[in-house]
Amino acid sequence: GLELSHCVGTNSLGPTGPWRSGGPCKMKRVRTVFKPEQLERLEQEFLKQQYMVGTERVDLAATLHLTETQVKVWFQNRRIKWRKQSLEQKAAKLSQFGVIQPASADSTDSKDHEEDTVDVEL
């Protein structure tokens, strides 16, 4: 699940508490480390479908002993990686034929999919 590291700072028991902004105690989420078996299964599912929703996501999370949020964020990040790889392959093919790709293509594509640019779990 989501784990938080201990307070960083000199006064971890201060009146502001760990969740208030500007306080002396900052909590940092520990990055999820997936097991190789979990990653293999997640990749298999991604090859079948790029979007995992509803009961499919709940079932996959339970099977892999992950939270639904962890599966959701993994799929979001994997879609970003997939789009980036697709753009790089497209650019490589175009450069083989001497076609120059306009610089605005990357920024336009990323704006269309802002809802998928999530790097952290909530």
Assign residue 42 the CATH number of its domain.
Answer: 1.10.10.60
Is 21 within a domain?
no
Is 101 within a domain?
no
Is 47 within a domain?
yes
30-60 burial, b at 16+ Cβ within 10 Å, e below that, comes to eebeeeeebeeebeebbeeeeebeeeebeeb
Question: Which of 106, 78, 77 lies closest to 91, judged by CA?
Answer: 106
Domains contained in the chain, number: 1
Bridge partners of 4, per DSSP, are 29
Evaluate whether 52 touches 61 at the Cβ level (below 8 Å). Answer: no
pTM above 0.85, yes or no: no
Per-residue pLDDT of the chain (122 residues; tens, 9 = 90+): 555 555 554 444 444 444 445 556 677 878 899 999 999 999 999 999 999 889 999 999 999 999 999 999 999 999 999 999 999 999 998 888 877 655 554 444 444 444 454 555 44
| CA dist., res. 74 & res. 120, Å (int) | 9
Is 117 within a domain?
no
Is 58 within a domain?
yes
Is 43 within a domain?
yes
Is 6 within a domain?
no
Is 48 within a domain?
yes
The boundaries of the domain holding residue 68 are 36-94
Q: Which two tokens mark 88?
A: 């790089």
Evaluate whether 73 touches 121 at the Cβ level (below 8 Å). Answer: yes
